[in-house]
Amino acid sequence: FLRRQQLLVAVAAALILVCFFAQNTQEQDVQNLKRMLEDINKKLEKMNVDARSNAGLPSSEEKDEGEEEEGEIDVGGVVSGDEDVVNGRLLTSKGVPVKVVIMLGSTARSGTSLFGELLSQQKDSLYLFEPELFVRQHSGQKVTQELGMKHMRDMIHCRFDKDFITFLHRRSSPFNIFRHAVTKTNCRNWDTCLTIPRLTGACRAEPTRIMKVIRLRVAWMKELLDDPRYDVKVVHLVRDPRGSLYSMAKLHLHKLMPEYHCPLIYDDLVNGPKFMAEYPGRVISVTYEQFCLDPVGTATRVWRMLSGDEGASIPAMWSEYIEKHVHRTSTRRIAAYGTFRNSAEQYQSWRDNITEIALTSIEEHCQPALELLGYNVFGDLKTTRNLSVSLFAN
């Protein structure tokens, strides 16, 4: 839409014309020019209002009570035009500082859905499930750092445009992406529920904004961690690539492509501990295998980082979730995309199913990552199938 700066430029140009012609015309002509200028201004303002309406934004007369005028705010070198940034900090619509939790998985099929839902078990929060998928579908290309991080900032600031709303409408279950009480319990009609004002209002009211992503890299998080506007904490989750990559290929999510994925996993494994040292209390790296073997202990480590309380126990909602979703004893078949697991058995179930071709290829390309994880390289199917041979090198 036409911004105020454009309106001012148009008005200034018209005034210059008035002044110029005023020197060479009669007074009546000057009055006619002034009336023309007023008509131009009215048309520009109408175009501005119409454009804001088409974009799903309120007009200047319809701004929410207490909403500040849009403008640039000095935040220590970071320029922002967001009305929710006050004194250099991102605030909710109620004036409460926003906490951002990013659940970053090095690949798909690495337990991020299970762990992401665990993180979302807290009050006063919004959970966005793989919002970066919009970037991939909208741009038609892999998620780059530039596009991915711009979209992350938009999500952090609750900036939802018409393209993102259209993306939600085209999903078979849009509420899997935007998980909030406003979409879970009061959203029978997509057209009236999945709108820019409704989702923006719900998002901006929540002090905790949680995002689960699998197409971004740990190194990319630096720009968010360095931004003084945000209270960002990152949970990096990685799984044995023999399990995650084989699962992706088996479900036809992606070709095996270990030559592509393994270097990315390795880079994340290197940057995770480095960021933990550089940003103490704000970054933590955990493995899917750790969580499966000791879900309460691993969850406690993560909660203490998120809460800033080194002696804290996990909240009751987390305990209930772990008991229900992780300590599963039913013999019923587990859904591929479900979050109900018998974690003690699940973490190395791939050893019974992986093919020799997949094993050889993944171990060849992922050996540096496997060594950083502290996992054995089996070398053949016979050793892989022998569960008495530990997954762990030490």
Contact between residue 100 and residue 232 where contact means Cβ atoms under 8 Å apart: yes
- Predicted confidence at residue 183, as pLDDT, reads 65
Sign of CA dihedral 249, 254, 259, 264: negative
Per-residue pLDDT averaged across 132-140, rounded?
Answer: 90
- Judge if 36 and 102 occupy the same domain: no
pLDDT in tens, 211-256: 999 999 999 999 999 999 999 999 999 999 999 999 998 887 667 8
Contact between residue 27 and residue 18 where contact means Cβ atoms under 8 Å apart: no
Per-residue pLDDT averaged across 77-85, rounded?
Answer: 50
Predicted confidence band of residue 11 (pLDDT cuts 50, 70, 90): low
Indicate whether 220 belongs to any domain. yes
* 358 CB-side CA count, 13 A: 19
Sign of CA dihedral 88, 92, 97, 102: negative
- Judge if 23 and 111 occupy the same domain: no
Indicate whether 68 belongs to any domain. no
Indicate whether 327 belongs to any domain. yes
- Judge if 116 and 48 occupy the same domain: no
Domain that holds residue 317: 88-124+207-352
Residues in CB range of 379: below 8 A, 6 or more apart:
363
CATH number, domain containing residue 287:
3.40.50.300
Query: What are φ and ψ of residue 261, in 5° steps?
Result: -75, -40
Contact between residue 199 and residue 215 where contact means Cβ atoms under 8 Å apart: no
Q: Each residue of 364-380: b (16+ CB within 10 Å) or e?
A: ebbeebbebbebbebee
Indicate whether 153 belongs to any domain. no
Q: Domain ends where: 352, 368, 384?
A: 352
Contact between residue 375 and residue 265 where contact means Cβ atoms under 8 Å apart: no
pLDDT above 70 for 363:
yes
Indicate whether 152 belongs to any domain. no
- Beta strands 79-80 and 73-74, pairing class: antiparallel
- Judge if 236 and 314 occupy the same domain: yes
- Judge if 102 and 46 occupy the same domain: no
- Judge if 108 and 47 occupy the same domain: no
- Predicted confidence at residue 178, as pLDDT, reads 80
pLDDT above 60 for 342:
no
What is the rounded average pLDDT for all residues in the chain? 80
When divided into structural domains, the chain yields a total of 2
- Judge if 11 and 110 occupy the same domain: no
- Predicted confidence at residue 182, as pLDDT, reads 62
Indicate whether 247 belongs to any domain. yes
Coil vs helix vs strand at 380: coil
Q: What token pair was written down for 363?
A: 């171990």
Indicate whether 242 belongs to any domain. yes
Indicate whether 72 belongs to any domain. no
Angle between helical axes of 316-325 and 295-307 (0-180°, round to 10): 150
